[in-house]
Amino acid sequence: MPTLAEVEREACSCIRCPLAGGRTNVVFGVGDPHADLMLVGEGPGRDEDLAGVPFVGRSGKLLDKLLLQEMGLDRRSCYIANVVKCRPPGNRDPRPAEMAACRGYLDAQLDLIQPRVVVTLGNVATRAVMGTNDTIGHLRGRTYPFRHGSRGHGCLVPTYHPAAVLRGGGEAMAQMRADLVRAKEELVRPGNVAGEATGGVAGEATGGAAGEAAGPPAVAGQVHR
Ligand code: SF4
């Protein structure tokens, strides 16, 4: 099984999809490779592309603040990644083919880190990780069982993307805060057995790819299940 560093090295020279042509940096992920909590966004924006680090702009500052206030965590104690590792032009949503091409890297991150709790940020990430077309407005507010890799149990808490909270104001902010509190409760819950996760309506989120399957990257594919 490759290490996270080996998967990152492969991603950094990846040209599997057209997003490679417009990037300044591959934004692979950041944080504790043994984290219990992993946050997944949709893709890098301009600031992230320039820095090579996820969630460093205004959205990132809000995420950092809410993580600290609601969970007592800073970003060094969790792991943060995106569904696609290169910036979509004009900050558009990543396309299904781009997400499929990049999916092996996220799967490898999930397999190697094996977080107990995954928080998806926004429609794109939630749909991709849960394998659903449902909306974040409908999916959030509950905790879903999540199985990935050999850990075999854990849970997923969907919430808004912090950029949407910046646009949406008070109610969205309150809902995101509540979601992070829910994620914290799951972090301290003993076991986190998939069947015990609460309120799942979409069945088991098993990490299935959304969109067209293009096969995993070579290194990441070695840990793709
Ligand atoms: S597959 Fe991922 S890492 Fe590779 S070029 Fe596309 S977005 Fe970048």
pLDDT 10s digits, 146-177: 987 665 579 999 999 999 999 987 999 999 99
End-to-end CA distance of the chain: 12
With respect to residue 169, please indicate whether it lies within any of the assigned structural domains: yes
With respect to residue 129, please indicate whether it lies within any of the assigned structural domains: yes
**Residue of 15, 124, 212, 219 to mutate, ligand 1, most atoms within 8 A of C-beta:** 15
Distance 102 CA to ligand 1 centre (A): 5
Total domains in the chain come to 1
Q: Which atom of ligand 1 is nearest to the CA of 43?
A: 7
Q: Which atom of ligand 1 is nearest to the CA of 94?
A: 7
| Strand partners for 205 | 146
**Does the beta carbon of 7 lie inside 6 Å of ligand 1?**
no
Domain that holds residue 88: 4-209
With respect to residue 59, please indicate whether it lies within any of the assigned structural domains: yes
**Confidence band (pLDDT; 50, 70, 90) for 212?**
very low
CATH of the domain at 205: 3.40.470.10
With respect to residue 216, please indicate whether it lies within any of the assigned structural domains: no
Phi, psi dihedral angles at 148 (to 5 degrees):
-155, 135
Per-residue DSSP letters for 108-156? HHHHHH--SEEEEESHHHHHHHHT----HHHHTTS-EEB--TTS---EE
With respect to residue 225, please indicate whether it lies within any of the assigned structural domains: no
The rounded distance, in Å, linking the Cα atoms of 39 and 118 is 6
**Does the beta carbon of 87 lie inside 6 Å of ligand 1?**
no
* pTM tops 0.75: yes
Ligand 1 atom 8 nearest Cα: 86
With respect to residue 75, please indicate whether it lies within any of the assigned structural domains: yes
With respect to residue 112, please indicate whether it lies within any of the assigned structural domains: yes
pLDDT 10s digits, 37-84: 999 999 999 999 999 999 999 999 999 999 999 999 999 999 999 999
List, in sequence order, every beta strand (DSSP E) within the chain.
30-31, 37-41, 79-82, 117-121, 144-145, 155-159
With respect to residue 220, please indicate whether it lies within any of the assigned structural domains: no
Which residues, 6 or more positions from 195, have their beta carbon under 8 angstroms from its beta carbon?
145
Q: Which residue do the tokens 């299940």 mark? A: 225
Q: Which atom of ligand 1 is nearest to the CA of 98?
A: 6
